[in-house]
């Protein structure tokens, strides 16, 4: 286990074949820059702390106090939300720093009269204009302080400068693209790493330990909690980092695009922000589950696409997935009835369908099943909500039947039991059952379109008007 100590920031790295938070590859300028920022941030924090101490000493018990606030170092990368802009404005399509309209030469092409006439081809005038045009170069092009001087750039110089800028931009885009891909494949991208460091630096997390899992859509790290707004963050937490590459999320669009809770926002967002919706969705869903008393992780904090959750496990060892447990027959039976009850609660009390329920997303901890991974969970009224539930039922039935739980219902019975519906069961004919589900979904869709209502609970559907739904938490 390697430990890096950087001016008080302790980042412990458990070597992992796929993950490198701060490893040998960190020689690229981007990471150096990041480290420099972190060091600066830490230094500033220490200065501020010292300043606060001096302020307290200076003022003592006096009723009138002098504030040293103005001397504090307002660092742009401090953990507060104000630094959101640092990442965010690059995301927006409408660049707030768009240059003003370039000035145009008067149409007639000359000014002045007689001997004093100056044409648009005037060398001095053109030179100054060319210099002014440098202001419109991309922001990353450092033009120095030439703009403040009476600098005259000839057309030839200006053109080759511009040419150079173009090719640099293209090169940088290529490099950036490559870096995004390579790091995302391994673990998390530099921006995410910065966000993670910021949590440590702000004291929200004490340290970030190793990686627990690298999935297609997320990377999960173990961490130790610190303090957040004077409240302690749980001693052991996980950081669920939603991957910022879109590839994997493309096929999952339908879980969020058709979720009325997120529908309006979905269409207006750029890809990076859509990823944040996933994290947000998981947070809302977990809150509903917690309210209903379903064992699941508690949300400590959401920052962009990083969700900080309470750790299910102990002493750095995560609880095993149900698929990896070797439970005895009695425990397996207990687990089955727990899952059955949780599915009912999820549907009837939380108004949710897990939509990725299987032995992979259930953990066994303290003699109980814990549900995790609910970013894709939808309400039953989702256009495909009942089909997702049917799939969940299939996974659950199959798993417990295979593990020898004699009481495990068939997928059809389970579906009816969870929903409270009474669809006709013909064990031999899955297509017929699915047709009934689709018909229900279609009726719900029609109902929504006709009434303009967004939601409709399906648990006790008898054609009567929809009831009010559990509001988002
Ligand atoms: P994914 O969408 O990548 O499957 P999950 O939420 O299922 O994301 O997390 C992946 C793995 O990380 C889980 O299978 C589990 O082993 C571990 N994990 C996730 N959340 C927790 C948690 N709160 N406590 C302990 N382990 C967790
Ligand atoms: Mg999972």
pLDDT tens-digit series, residues 417-456: 999 999 999 999 999 999 999 999 999 888 877 776 554 4
Ion ligand 2: residues, CB < 5 A: 361, 373
pLDDT-based confidence at residue 76 (cuts at 50, 70, 90) = very low
pLDDT at 264: 64
Q: What is the pLDDT of residues 334-350, one digit of tens each?
A: 999 999 999 999 999 99
Q: Are 221 and 214 in contact (CB under 8 A)?
A: no
Summary mean pLDDT of the chain: 77
pLDDT for position 11: 42
Instruction: From 221, 286, 373, 376, give the residue whose CB has the most ligand 1 atoms within 8 Å, as the site to mutate.
Output: 373
Please indicate whether residue 356 is annotated as part of the active site: yes
Give residue 71's pLDDT: 78
Atom of ligand 1 nearest to the CA of 360: 14
Q: Does the beta carbon of 217 lie inside 6 Å of ligand 1?
A: yes
Which ligand has the shortest distance to the CA of 234?
1
pLDDT in tens, 390-425: 999 999 999 999 999 999 999 999 999 999 999 999
Does 373 sit in the ligand 1 pocket, CB within 6 Å? yes
Confidence of residue 162 (pLDDT cuts 50, 70, 90): confident
Dist. CA 471 → ligand 2 center (Å)? 26
User: Given the CA of residue 313, which atom of ligand 1 is nearest to it?
Assistant: 25
Q: Which two tokens stand for residue 293?
A: 């008393």
**Distance of CA 20 from the midpoint of ligand 2 (Å):** 21
∠ CA 283-289-295, rounded to 5°? 110
The H or E element containing residue 205 is: strand 205-214
The answer to whether residues 437 and 445 touch, using CB atoms and an 8 Å cutoff, is: no
* CA of 297, closest atom in ligand 1: 23
Candidate list 189, 259, 356, 392, residue with the active-site label: 356
pLDDT tens string 64-74: 788 887 777 65
Q: What is the mean pLDDT of residues 195-206?
A: 95
Which-ligand-closest: CA of 310? Answer: 1
Give the ligand whose atoms come closest to the C-alpha of residue 219.
1
Q: Which helix (H) or strand (E) covers residue 238, if one does? A: strand 236-242
Helix (H) or strand (E) holding 178: helix 155-186
pLDDT-based confidence at residue 324 (cuts at 50, 70, 90): very high
Q: What percent of the chain has pLDDT over 90?
A: 44
Q: What is the mean pLDDT of residues 189-204?
A: 92
The structure's pTM equals: 0.62
pLDDT digits (tens, 9 = 90+) for 234-248: 999 999 999 876 555
Q: Which atom of ligand 1 is nearest to the CA of 220?
A: 12
Q: How far apart are CA 91 and CA 84, in angstroms?
A: 11
Q: What are phi and psi of 409, to 5 degrees?
A: -75, 165
How many angstroms does the Cα of residue 341 sit away from the middle of ligand 2? 20
Average pLDDT over every residue of 18-36: 50
State the pLDDT at residue 272: 74
pLDDT at 6 over 50: no
Which has more confidence, 121 or 163?
163
CB contact set of 336 (below 8 Å; sequence gap of 6+): 400, 405, 407, 408
Rounded distance from Cα 403 to ligand 2 centre (Å): 20
Instruction: Identify the pLDDT of residue 315.
Output: 96
Region 5-23: what's the mean pLDDT? 38
């Amino acid at each position: 286990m390697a430990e890096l100590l950087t001016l008080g920031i302790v980042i412990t790295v458990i070597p992992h074949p796929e993950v490198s938070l701060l490893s040998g590859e960190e020689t690229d300028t981007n990471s150096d820059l990041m480290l420099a920022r972190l060091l600066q941030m830490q230094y500033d924090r220490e200065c501020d702390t010292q300043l606060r101490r001096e302020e307290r000493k200076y003022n003592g018990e006096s009723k009138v106090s002098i504030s040293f606030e103005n001397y504090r170092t307002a660092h742009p990368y401090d953990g507060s939300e104000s630094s959101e802009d640092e990442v965010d404005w690059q995301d927006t399509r409408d660049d707030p720093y768009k240059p003003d309209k370039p000035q145009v030469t008067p149409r007639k092409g000359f000014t002045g009269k007689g001997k004093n006439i100056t044409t648009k081809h005037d060398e001095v005038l053109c030179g100054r204009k060319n210099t002014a045009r440098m202001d419109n170069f991309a922001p990353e092009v450092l033009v120095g302080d030439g703009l403040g001087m009476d600098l005259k750039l000839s057309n030839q110089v200006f053109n080759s400068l511009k040419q150079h800028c173009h090719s640099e931009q293209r090169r940088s885009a290529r490099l950036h693209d490559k870096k995004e891909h390579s790091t995302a494949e391994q673990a998390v991208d530099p921006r995410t790493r910065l966000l993670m460091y910021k949590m440590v630096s702000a004291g929200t997390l004490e340290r970030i330990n190793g990686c627990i899992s690298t999935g297609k859509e997320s990377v999960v790290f173990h961490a130790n909690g610190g303090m957040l707004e004077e409240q302690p963050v749980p001693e052991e937490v996980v950081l669920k980092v939603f991957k910022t590459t879109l590839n994997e999320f493309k096929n999952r669009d339908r879980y969020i695009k058709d979720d009325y809770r997120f529908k309006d926002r979905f269409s207006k967002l750029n890809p990076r922000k859509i990823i944040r919706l996933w994290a947000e969705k998981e947070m809302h869903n977990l809150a509903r589950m917690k309210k209903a008393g379903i064992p699941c992780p508690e949300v400590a904090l959401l920052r962009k696409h990083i969700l900080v959750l309470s750790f299910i496990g102990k002493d750095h060892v995560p609880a095993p997935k149900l698929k990896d447990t070797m439970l005895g027959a009695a425990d397996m039976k207990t687990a089955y009835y727990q899952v059955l009850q949780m599915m009912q609660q999820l549907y009837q009390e939380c108004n949710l369908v897990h939509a990725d329920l299987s032995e992979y997303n259930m953990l066994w901890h303290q003699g109980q099943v814990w549900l995790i991974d609910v970013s894709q969970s939808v309400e039953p009224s989702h256009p495909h909500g009942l089909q997702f539930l049917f799939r969940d039922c299939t996974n659950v039935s199959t798993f417990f039947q295979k593990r020898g739980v004699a009481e495990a219902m068939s997928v059809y019975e389970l579906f009816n039991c969870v929903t409270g519906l009474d669809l006709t069961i013909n064990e031999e004919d899955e297509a017929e059952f699915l047709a009934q589900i689709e018909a229900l979904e279609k009726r719900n869709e029609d109902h929504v379109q006709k009434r303009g209502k967004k939601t409709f609970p399906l648990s006790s559907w008898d054609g009567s008007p929809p009831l009010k739904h559990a509001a988002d938490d």
